Amino acid sequence: MEALKNRLQTNLRKKVALEAASLLYMSQEKEYKQAKLKAAETLGARILPSNLEIADALDKIAEEKEGSSRQELLTQMRKEALQVMQTLKDFHPRLIGSVWRGTAHKNSDIDIVTFAQDHKAVHIKIKESNLKITKTEWLSVTKKGKKEASFHIYIVLPSNNEAEIIIKSLEKKYFHEKCEIYGDEMTGLDHLQLQRLLREKPTQKFVPTK
């Protein structure tokens, strides 16, 4: 009886994870937390999957729907990220997010974190480079009881792919945050590491092995 209960719970977790992943893939939700809550509500479930379970389901959906074009898109987005990072090289840029991980899909954007004493310097550099800025905003998160703010600049590239430039204070440069999805450190890639990757293995994934 207990084995049957566990099996039913496992199957339900998988269904909720798949529904949450579908919401993320279709851009109906942007955050994992909201996606899993909405998925659970839709399915009438109280059990919630982990972020990792949702990420795995999302990766499978993207692979099934996009096939080989997904790898071509990943390479293209990494090349575009490198161009942006070279423009912002004075601000210690690092590629993070799904384009770094190698799990990007057709609705993904490019995430680049930079570090500067004054966010205005990065903003000016982007304007001077003729990159199209669509939005800017301050965002705050609470970590270990402390609020941390970062300035975000959203741009559209000539390919119509989008990028988000995150500007953090300079002292944060040597701190790697823990990933809320995979549980490892979000080391990302600097522009020299990304250059080497594009030469040697442009579609490599950076996700923890199970």
Q: What is the DSSP track for 42-70?
A: HHT------HHHHHHHHHHHHHHHHTHHH
pTM assigned to the model: 0.92
Q: Is 6 a residue whose pLDDT tops 80? A: no
pLDDT bracket for residue 2 (50, 70, 90) = low
pLDDT of 24-64, one tens digit each? 999 999 999 999 999 999 999 999 999 999 999 999 999 99
Q: Which of 191, 178, 188, 175 is nearest to 92 (CA)?
A: 191
pLDDT attached to residue 77: 98
User: In the chain, what percentage of residues exceed pLDDT 90?
Assistant: 83
The residue assigned the tokens 């590629």 is 95
